[in-house]
Structure 1
Amino acid sequence: MKLYYPQDHYNAAHRGEVFPLLKPFLKAEGFTDAERIKLYGVSQQDYTFVNSIQEAEVVILPMSWNYYIEFKKMDMAMALINKAKEHDKMVWTVNLYDIGVKLKGLENIKVFRTSGFRSKLPNWHIGRPVFIGDPLFRLNRLQIPFSYPKFRIRPLIGFCGLASGSKYKRHMDLLKIMTKNFLSMIDLSHYERDTLLSAAYERFGMLKQLELNKEIDTVFIYRNNYRAGARTHEDREASSRDFFKNIIASQYILCMRGAGNFSARLYETLAMGRIPIYVNTDGLLPLQDAIDWKQHVVWVEYKDKDSLYEKVLEFHKSLTEEDFLQLCRANRQLWESKLKMASFFKYHLAKHKNEDNIIDRAKG
């Protein structure tokens, strides 16, 4: 696949804003292809970076929309998009952060994003996974042995993370969202509006509902701050150990949105061969045309949150021991084959080629 990006857009000081597929190739001198494959799953042989838009099959806007807006470089972004349009080329872009920036409709772009509301976004906004390193490598470094969970008659549900029953914190969360929404509404903010919802408070209520049910076993670690407020390397390592040990000890993991309308925990749970309890808040899940998500998770609509425990028990009781183990293995395989960065973009590049072929045949 031939890709083009303008090198003068790249700002190494803001590497976190780089389009994900470019990161493996924008590395310091001496970074080897073997290291690239190990860290990112892509090789120098997988892509050809060309020097002009005319040669490219896909044009990439190197930095995130957040970057171009915050640093007042929208003219630079639009110049590339307009030039690509002149040559009938599609531009791939990325919208980062918990809340996406507002974008007007453009004919020749795709926006890859983790956050957002599926029912409110046009089809040129594309759901993408949270790209994570393989947790099995992390487990090995933390000296935590990996194995698939054993089947039990009673479901065993885990959670380690921010979940608070504080009404004061809930009110403060809602006040922050209302303020941001108001600024967005009067166009004093470039960011989209969000649902009035305190994720930490909602999680707390769901966890307590599960904890109080006598047919369910739980291993919950409640945090009052993100990553337990870790500030030092040692604190971060300790919080990571707790997090990964909690998933390993569980069969199911509650995956409810956070500050943004997505769950990074969803992908960590799949990658570790566990079953997510996915609370759907109109999320923009990736590859919905290729993945039957309801076959891989306990799917619970947000409006049904008060019967969460019933959904979990119904799902668990429908599985035989063999079904359960197959699903755990299938979830790990799903992450490896479709939700890692390399496999995700490989799918979309193949889809892009197919769409181009259809357009060419129609023109012919």
Structure 2
Amino acid sequence: MQLNIYSDKNYLPKGLEPVPMLYPFWKEFIPSGEYPWSRLYGKYIEVSNSLFQMTSLKEADLVIMPINWRFIRGESWRSKVNKEAESLSIEFAEKVANSGKELVVFFAGDCCAEEIPIKNATVMRMATYRSKRKQNDIIMPSFTEDFVQEYLGGQMSLRQKSEKPVVGFCGLAITDSWEKKLKTILFHGVMLTQSSEFGVSPYKGQILRSQALKVLAKNPSLVNTNFIIRDKLVFLTTQDIEPRQKTRDEYVKNMVESDYILCCRGSANYSIRLYEILSCGRIPIFIDTDCVLPDDSIIDWKKYCVWVDEKEIPHIADKVAEFHSNLSDQEFLDLQHECRKLWKNRFSAEGFYTNFHLHFPKK
């Protein structure tokens, strides 16, 4: 189904890029040369003309705010609000409100669960909290490259079921400490002085990961572990291609050589790793921290994941072992295909935008 959409480059602050949905229509913004994200939107751009048509405001089914709200709010709780960009975006929202059209605002980044100062907009967020979800919040995936195409030569690597599940993890995980507790106290103080929602520590995800990894490692009778634990970011802290490629290759190898992969929130209440795992055709072990996942009203996420509430982390090894034992050899193979299919059809860039109209039934 094709939707008529409207946006306006005049409301895109100078020096900032638009939301990726608009790349096919404002081609000068299509990213190039930034590994690996330069290839995230290629297939979406190829099919975009069958999905959306840029029209006038009067003819539009939906209006797309041109800027991602994260560029207004900032990438993290430490960032200052871009007042100039905010003012321009509110002006755009007022223009749309006077037209009676439905406005869609995209909000990614560490602060994407926050309120925005625009009424009656549909907000496409990467995260919120289930206990605080608003009716106009729609959860979207974090887009990732196609692991099978980019790293596995286009051929999905299948795991045969073994007696004990192999649990993988490659990434950042830190233990709780007085230093982290002090930083958390300072974090809450900053959030209050900014008159913002009293937030969750940005270190919570790293600490929960560490707790889960320890429990899994202490239960060799239930699971085999395949962990590469880092104490600092590597992939995102250098612009040099070679070390980034090496780090990414290690990450993919760890995933391919595991049956299940641990994923937990980061600074915001969502996990990019979840979508990378699905893209690779692996089964996530998902730590639920009051999360909302995309399409949760139509997708039974517990069918695709080992679902672990954060309070159940002490029993995570038992839950993984039970999930694994309940799958036959063929069901284990089938689930890998289903995870991959779910990502490709719903959570890749082209899959998400192909189904975009389902969130906005015509009145």
TM-score interval, smaller chain: 0.7 to 0.9
% identity of equivalent residues: 28
Between 1:149-158 and 1:72-81, the stretch displaced more is: 72-81
Between 1:5-14 and 1:232-241, the stretch displaced more is: 5-14
Partner of 2:217: 211
Question: Does residue 1:171 correspond to 2:181, yes or no?
Answer: yes
Question: Does residue 1:284 correspond to 2:297, yes or no?
Answer: no
Once the 2 structures are TM-superposed, how far is the Cα of residue 199 of structure 1 from its aligned partner?
A: 2.0
Once the 2 structures are TM-superposed, how far is the Cα of residue 92 of structure 1 from its aligned partner?
A: 0.7
Partner of 2:130: 118
Q: Would the alpha carbon gap of residues 230 and 60 (structure 1) be closer, same or farther in structure 2, given more than 3 Å must change?
A: closer
Residue by residue over 1:327-354, the C-alpha shift from the partner in whole angstroms, topping out at 9 and shown as x without a partner, is 11000000011111222233231341x2
Once the 2 structures are TM-superposed, how far is the Cα of residue 314 of structure 1 from its aligned partner?
A: 1.2
The equivalent position to 2:63 in structure 1, one of 59, 72, 75, is 59
1:234 partner SS? helix
TM-score, structure 1 length as denominator? 0.86
Which AA in structure 1 matches 2:248?
Answer: S
Residue by residue over 1:36-90, the C-alpha shift from the partner in whole angstroms, topping out at 9 and shown as x without a partner, is 754655333432111x211101000000223345142333222322332233211
Q: Would the alpha carbon gap of residues 30 and 131 (structure 1) be closer, same or farther in structure 2, given more than 3 Å must change?
A: closer
CA distance in 2, matches of 1:123, 1:171: 34
Which AA in structure 2 matches 1:79?
Answer: E
Partner of 1:102: 115
Once the 2 structures are TM-superposed, how far is the Cα of residue 105 of structure 1 from its aligned partner?
A: 6.2
Partner of 1:320: 328
Q: Would the alpha carbon gap of residues 60 and 230 (structure 1) be closer, same or farther in structure 2, given more than 3 Å must change?
A: closer
Q: Would the alpha carbon gap of residues 139 and 12 (structure 1) be closer, same or farther in structure 2, given more than 3 Å must change?
A: farther
Question: Does residue 1:342 correspond to 2:325, yes or no?
Answer: no
Which AA in structure 2 matches 1:216?
Answer: V
Q: Contact 2:284–2:305 (CA<8 Å) still a contact in 1? A: yes
**Structure 1, unaligned runs of 5 or more:** 358-364
Partner of 1:360: none
Partner of 1:362: none
Which AA in structure 1 matches 2:115?
Answer: K
The equivalent position to 2:249 in structure 1, one of 228, 237, 241, is 241
Partner of 1:27: 27
Question: Does residue 1:46 correspond to 2:51, yes or no?
Answer: yes
Q: Would the alpha carbon gap of residues 176 and 218 (structure 1) be closer, same or farther in structure 2, given more than 3 Å must change?
A: farther
Once the 2 structures are TM-superposed, how far is the Cα of residue 237 of structure 1 from its aligned partner?
A: 1.2
1:222 partner SS? strand
2:128 partner SS? coil
Partner of 2:206: 200
Structure 1 segment 142-157 matched on structure 2, within 5 A: 146-157=156-167
Question: Does residue 1:331 correspond to 2:335, yes or no?
Answer: no
> Which contiguous aligned blocks of 4+ residues in structure 1 show a shift greater than 4 angstroms?
143-146
Once the 2 structures are TM-superposed, how far is the Cα of residue 238 of structure 1 from its aligned partner?
A: 1.3
- Higher helix proportion: 1
Q: Would the alpha carbon gap of residues 44 and 12 (structure 1) be closer, same or farther in structure 2, given more than 3 Å must change?
A: farther
Q: Contact 2:51–2:353 (CA<8 Å) still a contact in 1? A: no
**Structure 2, unaligned runs of 5 or more:** 32-39, 73-80
TM-score, structure 2 length as denominator? 0.86
CA distance in 2, matches of 1:30, 1:220: 36
Question: Does residue 1:73 correspond to 2:81, yes or no?
Answer: no
Partner of 1:293: 301
Q: Contact 1:40–1:341 (CA<8 Å) still a contact in 2? A: no
Q: Contact 1:139–1:146 (CA<8 Å) still a contact in 2? A: no
Once the 2 structures are TM-superposed, how far is the Cα of residue 230 of structure 1 from its aligned partner?
A: 4.7
Once the 2 structures are TM-superposed, how far is the Cα of residue 23 of structure 1 from its aligned partner?
A: 2.7
